[in-house]
Amino acid sequence: MKMRNMIAAISAMAVSAVCVAALPASAAAETYPDSITVMVGGGWGSYTGSWTEATADNSITITDNGTYTIHVPSGEAGTLGAGQWAMAIRTTDFNAFDYGDEGDDFYTALDKGGVTMTVDSVKINGVEKKNADSTLRDDDNGHDMRINIYNQWTSPTVAIVDGDQVFDGDVDITFTVAGLKFGDQTTEAPTEATTTTTEGAGTTTTEGGSTTKAGSTTTKSGSTTTAAKNNSNSASTTTAATTTNTATGDNSGIAVAVAALAVAGGALVASRKRK
């Protein structure tokens, strides 16, 4: 009878464990150009520069967000009336769709990426001429950015300066870009904490009237809380320590708890034999 009760007590001391660990998300590697070229294109006065070809005289290369100025020598003086000249600032190696999701249009992709480009100043012959807000649009290739400063080929004409200008000096365009990304943009999501829980299997009653309810141990991110109830005729209560390795998910604490319970069972048998 005593042996049967002892076996039942040890069997009832089964320990269950649940380990929840969130693996880190895969690193997201995104590669963007190391630099972007911005140019002023068009023709005005005696200047007959290309609308699309960047040269040393009409462009700069940027490697970060910020405010920049492009200085374009105009050459000999020339006077042109409204609708007889064109000027725009544009990127030459930018792809708006790198910033959006599949299926997004040009403007949606820029909005998701937080990409903006504005013209802050247009100086002709050293005099500020900008008199309207700039409007960003897609270039003819569909993926580069462009701001028309004066464009006679649109209907109606798009202009942020007056059409009648005398070009007897240089042109300086100041612009600001934000939200651009350059080079490798690898990111890695943080790893969530590991949680391990061990619980006793229930209540065991022995011949002496002693009732023991196995304790539960929960370890989360390195903190341990142990709760135990002992409704026993004995005056003393001992709770075995449980250790959980949260870094590796090792549930060695379960084995320690089982071993401790087995020792307690053996001590109970020895005590009864002495009686």
Give 80-91 as a DSSP string.
Answer: E-TTS-EEEEEE
User: How do beta strands 86-91 and 59-62 pair?
Assistant: unpaired
Closest Cα partner for 245 from 227, 224, 216, 222? Answer: 222
> Which tokens in the block code for residue 182?
């350059």
The predicted-structure confidence for 200-231, as pLDDT tens digits, reads as follows 545 444 445 544 455 544 444 444 443 334 44
The CA-based angle 43-149-48, given to 5 degrees, is 5
> Rounded to whole angstroms, how far apart are CA atoms 244 and 196?
7
pTM, to two decimals: 0.59
Q: 236-244: long-range contacts (C-beta < 8 A, 24 or more apart)?
A: 238/264, 239/215, 242/198, 242/217, 244/196, 244/217, 244/219
Is 76 within 8 Å of 166 (Cβ atoms)?
A: no
Write down the pLDDT at residue 123.
Answer: 95
Q: How confident is the model at residue 69 (pLDDT cuts 50, 70, 90)?
A: very high
Q: How far is CA 191 from the centre of its chain?
A: 13
Write down the pLDDT at residue 22.
Answer: 45
Closest Cα partner for 81 from 152, 131, 173, 129? Answer: 152
- Which span out of 34-43, 154-163, 216-225 was modeled with the highest average pLDDT? 34-43
> Rounded to whole angstroms, how far apart are CA atoms 244 and 248?
9
Is 251 within 8 Å of 194 (Cβ atoms)?
A: no
Count each helix (H run) and each strand (E run) in the chain, helices first.
3, 19
Closest Cα partner for 138 from 175, 91, 68, 100? Answer: 91
Q: Is the pLDDT of residue 155 over 60?
A: yes
Please compute the mean of the pLDDT values over residues 248-273 and round it to a whole number.
Answer: 45
- Within 13 Å and on the Cβ side, how many CA atoms surround 96? 27
Integer-rounded Cα radius of gyration of the chain = 38
